[in-house]
Amino acid sequence: MLYLIGLGLSHETDITVRGLQAVKKCKRVYLEAYTSILMAASKESLESFYGKEVILADRELVETGSDEMLKDADTEDIAFLVVGDPFGATTHTDLIIRARELGIKVECIHNASIMNAVGACGLQLYQFGQTVSMVFFTDSWRPDSFYDKIMENRKIGLHTLILLDIKVKEQSIENMARGRLIYEPPRYMDISTAASQLLEIESLRKEQAYTEATPCVAISRLGAPTQSFKAGSLKELSNYDAGEPLHSLIMLGRQVHDLELEYLYEFVDDKDSFKKLVLQDQEFFKPPPYVPPTEDDFSN
Amino acid sequence: MLYLIGLGLSHETDITVRGLQAVKKCKRVYLEAYTSILMAASKESLESFYGKEVILADRELVETGSDEMLKDADTEDIAFLVVGDPFGATTHTDLIIRARELGIKVECIHNASIMNAVGACGLQLYQFGQTVSMVFFTDSWRPDSFYDKIMENRKIGLHTLILLDIKVKEQSIENMARGRLIYEPPRYMDISTAASQLLEIESLRKEQAYTEATPCVAISRLGAPTQSFKAGSLKELSNYDAGEPLHSLIMLGRQVHDLELEYLYEFVDDKDSFKKLVLQDQEFFKPPPYVPPTEDDFSN
């Protein structure tokens, strides 16, 4: 059996009781270690909590070495641990499809992920549109596909969750070119970088998918003991120090319920000016005002 | 301290280790019992698992009796257990806002909910648009606000998660009129009812937000031992017996990746005809084909 087990967001103890029971009976335990990190735990603390060895699985192992991971999983129990939920922002459907091909049974033990825990900021999950990702811009690569998606969401009034880049075990271009297996220190995109990149793309595209004044919510270390939220304009957040990773950003849509707004007030510097931002931003993508029918309309 | 604790989807053991630790130290433990159910557990099995009494909290208690629930929570630990995640499809932000007003600290312990675990069907979570809800139609009340939302999602290529009605502790109109506190047996909407209601509204609105041939995925008892998925046309699913509750339905959008499709094949009767449905459905809301500029375009 292959167990896919979600670890939740932060602590060793964020695993479910059922997940822990499964880990304890597994022969080998892999930890997916390239799309997210467990904020208040480490490989070592997990090993001591589980009472067994944890094997770090980098992208290479999962994507090209999955047969190695799945070895003997038809007769033994193997665990693949994923921060958040196994079907979270990054899914591991290819691993499951491979397991199926090999006739290996798969069981998934779900957990919280950023995709649902983000509701903790007070915005209603059913009012979110598609989720977008933002990567670190480089001199030559500044992909802006998120821009059209945010526009699509905001045109129909919806909030957008923006997931920020995580770079783990990446090589510099120089080291890659020279074939040196030297990895850069991990990098986690922060709120101010994300907000600045958003503003840069708006200044180039000029289609007003959003503006400097568009209200956003900065989410820092969701689910960790130091979790924090900050609501403000995109411009404000481009200068906001959100502290230690991980960070995510939400851009509000036009549909903001009173209860959502009231909840967000807890995270603003000034209620009145935030409310003003929200009202002002609601003018974008507003449905056209109702025009009463004229006599001409009835003449047909 | 008020602990909001997600219970996950199905088993007593779907609670996180941290959640269980919190429950064990709480003076009073409430279970939210009106928006969802834990499929493989009951009040009694939870009580035996926790080793303490669990108080069922119906809508009335949570919405109007929250001060009773929050009594002494400034000095004692109180738990409010929610199936799924506390910020799932139904949020309890009003309870948290009330706790804040009373100066009570709040800690949330997240868990999986339908909103993220739905990724288990193989469709990518970031390709979902807004989530919609569908209620049981009555003779006089057949609300169709989901229709426009599905249309909005599908216009931009996105999948739609459709949450199906749960009726717990509801009175019949007659009993309500006579002031008799007699409750109807709980009702959980099934896939075939949901699909039929969708088809009924399409036949009335005729805007082709979807058709009988639109591919959908039926999700039954997500996270429970008997969990199952079934992919097929909306028409097929209107005759599908999905078994015991709870059920949810996904309507596909135009953006279906090959990996998503390959995963769904596991749940279809016939691969080729399902693929044909998907390709055919992608003709709806397709962006207009690229038209090369003419000389006239350059003359301005």
Residues A98 and A156 in one domain: no
A296: left (phi over 0), alpha (psi -120 to 50) or beta: alpha
pLDDT at B34: 81
Q: Residue A17: left (phi > 0), alpha (psi -120 to 50), or beta?
A: alpha
Examine residue A292 and state whether it is found in any structural domain, yes or no.
no
Chain segment A173-213, per-residue pLDDT in tens: 888 888 888 888 889 999 999 999 999 999 999 999 999 99
Q: Are residues B79 and B159 in the same domain?
A: no
The CATH number of residue B151's host domain is 3.30.950.10
Q: What are phi and psi for residue A80, nearest 5 degrees?
A: -120, 110
Kindly state whether residues B135 and B260 are assigned to the same domain.
Answer: yes
What is the domain range of residue A215? 115-283
The verdict on A135 and A269 lying in the same domain is yes
The Cα–Cα gap between A117 and A89 comes to: 12
Give the pLDDT of residue A177: 86
Burial level of A158, CB count in 10 A (0-12/13-18/19+)?
buried
B257 with B159, same domain: the answer is yes
List the structure tokens of B132.
């919609």
The pLDDT score that the predictor gives to residue B272 is 97
Best residue in A116, A128, A248, A267 for a mutation probing chain B (most B CBs within 10 Å): A116
Residues A54 and A86 in one domain: yes
Domain count, chain B: 2
B14, B120, B130: residue with CB nearest A158:
B130
**Interchain pair B259, A94: CB under 8 A:** yes
- Domain's final residue, options B57, B91, B112: B112
Query: Using the beta-carbon criterion (under 8 Å), do B13 and A9 form an inter-chain contact?
Result: no
Per-residue pLDDT at A91: 66
Dump pLDDT digits (tens) for B140-180: 999 999 999 999 999 999 999 999 999 887 888 888 888 88
> A112, A167, A127, A85: which is closest to A251 by C-alpha?
A127
**Is omega for the bond preceding B246 within 30 degrees of 0, making it cis?**
yes
Report the run of H or E that residue B266 belongs to, with start and end: none
C-alpha dihedral, B175 to B181 to B182 to B187, nearest 10°: 90
Q: What is the pLDDT of residues A253-279, one digit of tens each?
A: 999 999 999 999 999 999 999 999 999
C-alpha R_g of chain A? 22
**Do residue A131 and residue B132 have CB atoms under 8 angstroms apart?**
no
pLDDT at B179: 84
Which residues of chain A are under the pLDDT cut of 50? none
Q: Do B71 and B145 sit in the same domain of this protein?
A: no
Specify whether the CB–CB gap between A125 and B87 falls below 8 A: yes
Kindly give, in sequence order, each residue whose CB lies less than 8 Å from that of residue B169, ignoring residues fewer than 6 positions away.
B34, B58, B59, B183, B186
Residue A114 annotated as part of some ligand binding site:
yes
- Å from A180 to nearest chain B CA? 33
**In a shared domain, residues B130 and B245:** yes
Closest CA to A271 of A215, A219, A195: A215
Are residues B260 and B139 part of one domain?
yes
DSSP calls for A66-97: HHHHTTTTTTS-EEEEESB-TBSSSB-HHHHH
State the smallest CA–CA distance between residue B133 and chain A in angstroms.
Answer: 9
Residue B6 lies in a domain: yes
Asked if residue B163 belongs to a domain, the reply is: yes
Q: Determine, yes or no, domain membership for B300.
A: no
Q: What is the DSSP string of chain A?
A: -EEEEE-BSS-GGGSBHHHHHHHHH-SEEEEE-SS---TT--HHHHHHHHTS--EEE-HHHHHH-HHHHTTTTTTS-EEEEESB-TBSSSB-HHHHHHHHHTT--EEEE----HHHHGGGGS--GGGB---EEEPPP-SS----HHHHHHHHHHHTT-BEEEEEPEE-SPBPHHHHHTT---BPPPEE--HHHHHHHHHHHHHHH-S-SS-TT-EEEEEESTTSTT-EEEEEEHHHHTT----SSPEEEEE--S---HHHHHHHGGG-S-HHHHHHHHHHHTTTTPPPPP-PPPHHHHH-
Give the single-character DSSP code of B98: H
User: B40: domain CATH number?
Assistant: 3.40.1010.10
| CB-based contacts of B289, cutoff 8 Å, min separation 6 | none
Task: Return averaged pLDDT per consecutive 10 residues of chain B, 300 residues in all.
Answer: 96 97 97 84 94 91 86 95 87 86 95 96 96 96 96 97 90 84 90 98 97 98 95 98 96 94 96 97 86 69
Instruction: Say yes or no: B259 and B130 in one domain.
Output: yes
Nearest residue, CB atoms, A115 vs list B20, B91, B115: B115
Is residue B290 in some structural domain?
no
Q: CA-nearest residue of chain A to B133?
A: A126
Closest Cβ opposite residue A97 in set B9, B117, B263: B263
> Could you tell me the maximum CA-CA distance found in chain B, to the nearest angstrom?
81
Q: Give B267's contacts in chain A (Cβ within 8 Å).
A: none
Q: Is A70 annotated as a binding residue?
A: no
The dihedral over CA atoms of B6, B10, B11, B14, expressed in degrees to the nearest 10, equals -40
Q: Residue A295 domain-assigned?
A: no
Kindly state whether residues B224 and B137 are assigned to the same domain.
yes
Show residues of chain B in contact with A119, CB under 8 Å: 85, 87-88, 91, 115
* Whether residue A182 sits in one domain with residue A97: no
Query: Which regions of chain B does DSSP assign to beta strands (E)?
Result: 2-6, 28-32, 55-57, 78-82, 106-109, 132-134, 160-164, 166-167, 187-188, 215-220, 228-233, 247-251
User: A202: which 2 tokens?
Assistant: 């708006």
Is B295 inside any structural domain?
no
Residue B47 inside a domain? The answer is yes
- Grouping H, G, I as helix, E, B as strand and the rest as coil, residue B116 is helix
Closest by CA to A236, choosing from A192, A197, A271, A204, is A192
What's CA A101's distance to the chain center, in Å? 30
Taking alpha carbons only, the member of B152, B145, B241 closest to residue B198 is B145
Per the structure block, which two tokens stand in for B248? 């949810």
Say if CB A3 and CB A26 are below 8 A apart. Answer: yes
Could you tell me the end-to-end alpha-carbon distance of chain A, in angstroms, rounded to an integer? 68
